[in-house]
Amino acid sequence: MSDSAYRITAEAGAAASTAGAGDFLALLKPRVMSLVVFTGLVGLLIAPGQLHPVLAVVAVLCIAIGSGAAGAINMWYDRDIDAVMTRTAHRPIPTGRIAPGEALGFGVFLAVASVAMMGLIVNWVAGGLLALAILFYVFVYTVWLKRRTPQNIVIGGAAGAFPPMIGWAAVTGSVSIESVALFALIFFWTPPHFWALSLYRCGDYQDAGVPMLPVVAGKAVTKRQMLFYTLLLIPVALAPTLLGIAGWIYGVSSIALSLGFVSAAVAVLRSESDAPAKRMFGYSLFYLATLFGLLIVDGPIGLSG
Amino acid sequence: MATLVMNTDREQDRRGDDGRDPGEWQRRRRSRNLAVAGILGALVVLFYIVTIVKMSGG
Note the pLDDT tens digit of each residue in B42-52.
999 999 999 99
Looking at residue A17, what is its pLDDT? 66
Tell me the pLDDT band of A305, cut-offs 50, 70 and 90: low
Looking at residue A16, what is its pLDDT? 53
For chain A, the average pLDDT equals 92
Looking at residue B21, what is its pLDDT? 75
Distance from CA of A161 to the nearest CA of B (A): 28
How do residues A108-153 score in pLDDT, each as one tens digit? 999 999 999 999 999 999 999 999 999 999 999 999 999 999 999 9
Chain B partners of A118 at a C-beta cutoff of 8 Å?
A: none
Contact B9 A52 (CB under 8 A): no
Quick one: closest CA in B to A121, which residue?
B50
Chain A partners of B28 at a C-beta cutoff of 8 Å?
A: 18-20
Nearest to A20 among B12, B31, B58 (CB): B31
pTM of the model: 0.86
Q: Is the pLDDT of residue A177 over 70?
A: yes
Per-residue pLDDT, averaged over A166-187, amounts to 97
CB pairs under 8 A between A and B: 60
Can you tell me the distance from the alpha carbon of A195 to that of A92, in angstroms, rounded to the nearest whole number? 25
Residue from A2, A7, A18, A106 to probe the interface with B (highest B Cβ count within 10 Å): A18
ipTM here: 0.76
User: What residues contact A72, with CB distance under 8 A and at least 6 apart?
Assistant: A27, A28, A29, A103, A104, A106, A107, A110
> Cβ(A97)–Cβ(A18) under 8 Å?
yes
> Cβ(A41)–Cβ(A35) under 8 Å?
no
> Cβ(A202)–Cβ(A209) under 8 Å?
no
Looking at residue B26, what is its pLDDT? 85
Q: Is A123 helix (H, G, I), strand (E, B) or coil?
A: coil
Give the distance from CA B12 to its chain's centroid: 19
| Lowest mean pLDDT, pick from A7-16, A32-41, A197-206 | A7-16
Q: What CA–CA distances, in Å, run from A172 to A29, A44, A165, A264? A: 29, 9, 10, 37
Q: Is the pLDDT of residue B55 over 50?
A: yes
Looking at residue B29, what is its pLDDT? 84
Contact A18 B46 (CB under 8 A): no
Q: Is A299 helix (H, G, I), strand (E, B) or coil?
A: coil
How do residues A272-294 score in pLDDT, each as one tens digit? 999 999 999 999 999 999 999 99
Q: Which of residues 102-131 of A touch B (CB under 8 A)?
A: 121
Q: Is the pLDDT of residue B19 over 70?
A: no
Nearest to B25 among A1, A18, A121 (CB): A18
Instruction: Give chain B's contact residues with A (Cβ, < 8 Å).
Output: 1, 4-5, 8-9, 12-13, 16-18, 20, 24-25, 27-29, 31-32, 34-35, 46, 49-50, 53-54, 58
Helices (H), A16-123: 21-27, 30-46, 53-77, 79-84, 100-117
How do residues A14-25 score in pLDDT, each as one tens digit? 445 678 888 999
DSSP helix, strand, coil percent of chain A (3-state; round to 5): 80, 0, 20
Question: What is the DSSP track for A165-211?
Answer: HHHHHHHHSS--HHHHHHHHHHHHHHHHHHHHHHHHTHHHHHHHT--
| Lowest mean pLDDT, pick from A182-186, A204-208, B5-9 | B5-9
For chain B, counts of helices (H) and of strands (E): 2, 0
> Cβ(A211)–Cβ(A152) under 8 Å?
yes
Q: Is the pLDDT of residue A180 over 60?
A: yes
Question: What is the DSSP track for B10-47?
Answer: HHHHHH-TTT--HHHHHHHHHHHHHHHHHHHHHHHHHH
Q: Is the pLDDT of residue A219 over 90?
A: yes
Q: Is the pLDDT of residue A78 over 80?
A: yes
- Burial annotation A173-199 (CB, 10 A radius, 16+ → b, else e): eebeebbbbbbbbbbbbbbbbbbbbbb
Can you tell me the distance from the alpha carbon of A184 to that of A205, in angstroms, rounded to the nearest whole number? 27
